[in-house]
Amino acid sequence: MSYWIRRIAHGLSALFAVSVLAFLFLELAPGDYLDRMRLNPQISTETLEAMRTQYGLDRPFVERYWSWLGAVLQGTWGFSFAYGSAVAPLIWSRALNTLLLSVCATALAWTLAVPVGVFWATRKNSVGPVETFMGVATSLIVGVPELVLAVLALIIAARSRAFPVGGMWSIGVSELTFVGRVGDLAWHLILPVTVMALPAFALLARHVRTAVEDVMDEPFVTKARALGISGRRLVLHHMLRPAATPLISIAGLSITSLLSASFIVEVVMGWPGLGPFLLDAILARDVHVVIGGVMCSAVFVVSGGLLADLALYLNDPRIEPN
């Protein structure tokens, strides 16, 4: 239990550090939200100074940070200058969209990577066209940036008209039944999820292959073969669980990489998640929205790490530190 308390404390400490650094970087960056208004000759200097005082931009860094921290404890997450409302409602709806995209991409990547990686590992001593194709294909996919994949996906969608070009819903979706809405959402998810899942799948398949190959040389596997156990039974009942330990650790890192990839994919493919919202807030210097988006992403990353630790413990309770 003490390990989990320390682990949660470390996660909270990481979130605190991220919030301080995010505020500090925005403080060091030149300009503020009122810069564009200063270019308008119709807005007087007195009006700009009054707005600066109203938004608290004239207060010291520490005072503004503690004011924002109090807003977090109240559940508002600060005030958005551009939208004129609390940040939390603006963030959470888009965060759920990003989470949906990332979870679907993660599920697809692991669903494909595990059987492909296991099959690849069982052909450890074979050097044929299948093994060569797997090695070359995964290397090529890993080497292609998500930005290029997203642009290619948009070109395919525009020319084939088989998939929607951006967005999350079709026009008139409110008139559809519940089943129709789910189908429309799934239709819009296909391309962005595929773009995010492909690089993750290629990398994870290699990790699965390595993990299973390492287990294949263990004495208990050799003993199982000597007892006549082979094929699918050997893999499912004797090899997968020991091989899962390093893979679960990688799962936490895969969440981080998919979240970073989701921001790029969302901006390029018009998915209404945190990516486009955060980009607009950065360009407008809407400080609290930027901090809220960064912190929301940090919460996802820390939560992913905690879930990976929990899955690691459930898979093998002996690994819990004292």
Give the integer Cα–Cα distance in Å for 61 and 207: 45
Under 8 Å between Cβ of 241 and 215: no
Per-residue pLDDT at 316: 64
What per-residue confidence (pLDDT) applies to 193?
92
Average pLDDT over residues 26-46: 74
318 pLDDT band, cuts 50/70/90, is: low
Q: What is the number of domains present in the chain?
A: 1
Asked whether residue 147 is assigned to any structural domain, the reply reads yes
Torsion angle of the four alpha carbons 140, 146, 148, 150, in this order, in degrees rounded to the nearest 10: 120
Which of 266, 274, 277, 278 shows the shortest CA–CA distance to 153? 266
Mean pLDDT of 105-129: 82
d(CA 274, CA 267): 9
Residue at 300 is within a domain: no
Has residue 289 been placed in a domain?
A: no
Residue 151 belongs to some domain of the structure: yes
Q: Is the pLDDT of residue 104 over 70?
A: yes
Provide the residue range defining the domain that includes 182.
Answer: 96-245+259-272
Strand partners of residue 85? 80
3-state secondary structure of 85: strand
Query: pTM for the whole thing?
Result: 0.80
Nearest C-alpha neighbor of 296 from the set 80, 92, 112, 38: 92
